[in-house]
Amino acid sequence: MKTLWIKTTVAVCVLLASGVASASSKLTPNECNDYPFKPLHGPVTHAQLMQELSELESVGYDPSSGDDNYYPSTIQEAQARLRLKYRADCLGESVKVPTSRIIYGSADGFY
């Protein structure tokens, strides 16, 4: 019974993350030219870390989920989505940020 509860919870989280990712706003020009997309010339500031966390949350990452069973794959998935969002918003490439889970494991990082 506990396994069913965990699977149901994970499924709901994935659906919520998908909705958040599809409703996320575009990156601003300032965000495109700042951490984590551009190399820094000094230490990372607290404000930059909070901005990165906000950007990861905009593509579906939930640091408060409390489920460590899927870490680090959950943050890696969010980082991959954020890279796609950067390519679409900042480089003008015609890419779509996926709204379903990305599963890692193949040679190129995706199945």
Q: What is the pLDDT of residue 22?
A: 45
The pLDDT profile of the chain, 111 residues, written as one tens digit per residue, is: 555 455 554 444 444 444 444 445 788 888 888 888 888 888 999 999 999 999 888 888 888 877 777 778 888 888 999 999 899 988 888 887 765 555 555 454 544
Q: Is the pTM of this model over 0.85?
A: no
Q: What is the pLDDT of residue 12?
A: 45
- What gap in Å lies between CA 100 and CA 14, rounded to an integer? 7
- What gap in Å lies between CA 77 and CA 3, rounded to an integer? 23
**Pair 51, 31: CB distance under 8 Å:** yes
Q: What is the pLDDT of residue 50?
A: 93
